[in-house]
Structures are given as C-alpha cells and as structure tokens.
C-alpha cells in the first residue's frame, strides 16, 4: 500500500521534472522570438524544478531496497576458520607428522642416535649426527 504512494510520488515528480525542462526550453524559444536577452529563468519554473527534484529523491529512496544499517560487516560470509585463524603463527606439530613415513624414519634415527650416545659418548657414527646436530637432540628431549 505504502509503496504505491511512493511510486505515485516518483512518477508525478518525474513528469513534473520533464515538464520543467520543456517550459525552460519554451522560455528560451520565446525570448529568441521577441529578441530579448536571456537573464534568468522565471521563478515559477525554478521553484517547480527544485520541488519536483526533492520529491523525486524522496520517492525513489523509498522505492529502492529497504535501508541498510550504514555500518556493515564487510565480509558477512566469513567463517570462523577464516576470521579466527592466525596464519603467521602457524605451527607444524600435528597428526600428519605421526602418519608420515618420513617422520617416523626421522624419529627412529633420532632414537638410534640417542641410544648410541648413551652407550658410547663421543663416537658419533657418520650421517646421523650430521643430519641431526647435537644441539638439536637437546630440543627433542623437551
């Protein structure tokens, strides 16, 4: 019901605005015929233009979609996974490590090295101690 009133206002003001343009053109035409200089438009045309413009703005603002709250979330479809994730603090200790064959090999190597260290301190054997420096074994105990 309300929207028909606004629609009526919009259409009437639009027609009135077109009428203003027409009467302005008519005025210029009349001036040219009577060879008078153009100073300004008659007051009634100016008044009609302003009033119908304001009415048009008023009408269309209600015809368009309903007003939205001006402060909106920029990404309303964002999920918790996206918004509450801290990618630059990512740590790599998760269950994929337990399932990965490479890491189980690495763990076995470390364990081997540790047991060797316990048996004879100082005699590191070749590749294992190169791959895992002594300072890192301290880390792995923690």
Partner 1 sequence: METDWTQISYDDARQTLKKWRECGVRRSEEVVEIWEHVVSRSPSSLGDELWVVLEQVCIAGLDTARVDLAQDCIDQLHVQFPKSNRVLKLKAMQLEATEHYQKAQEIYERLVEEDPNNNSFRKRKVAILLAQGKRLEAIRAINEYLKIFLNDPEAWLQLSELFLLENDVAKAAHCLEECVLISPLNSMYLRRLGDLRYTQGGAENVELARAYYERAVKINPTDLRSQYGILLSNNLIATTSKNASEKKKAGVAAVEAIDNLVNRYQKISTKKNPESDGILNCLEAMKTTIGSK
The site for partner 1 (CB under 8 A) is made up of 69, 71-94, 96-97, 99-100, 102-103, 106, 132-133, 135-136, 138-140, 142
- Map residue 51 onto helix, strand or coil: helix
Q: What angle do CA 59, 63, 67 make, to 5 degrees?
A: 105
Task: Quote the least distance from Cβ 1 to partner 1, whole Å.
Answer: 23
The smaller minimum CB distance to partner 1, of residues 27 and 110, is found at 110
Which residue, among 117, 21, 119, 120, has the nearest Cα to 136 in the 3D structure? 117
Task: Quote the least distance from Cβ 28 to partner 1, whole Å.
Answer: 51
The smaller minimum CB distance to partner 1, of residues 9 and 132, is found at 132
The smaller minimum CB distance to partner 1, of residues 36 and 88, is found at 88
**Dist. CA 57–CA 27, nearest whole Å:** 26
Q: Which two tokens stand for residue 63?
A: 């015809």
């Amino acid at each position: 019901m309300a929207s028909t009133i606004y629609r009526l206002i919009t259409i009437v003001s639009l027609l009135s605005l077109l009428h203003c343009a027409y009467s302005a053109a008519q005025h210029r035409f009349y001036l040219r015929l009577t060879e008078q200089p153009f100073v300004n438009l008659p007051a009634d045309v100016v008044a009609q233009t302003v009033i119908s413009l304001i009415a048009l703005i008023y009408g269309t603002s209600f015809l368009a979609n309903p007003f939205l709250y001006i402060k909106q979330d920029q990404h309303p479809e964002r999920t918790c996974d996206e918004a509450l994730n801290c990618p630059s603090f990512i740590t790599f200790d998760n269950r994929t490590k337990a399932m990965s064959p490479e890491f189980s090999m690495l763990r076995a190597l470390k364990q081997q090295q540790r047991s060797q260290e316990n048996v004879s301190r100082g005699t590191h054997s070749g590749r294992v101690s190169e791959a895992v420096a002594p300072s890192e074994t301290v880390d792995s105990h923690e």
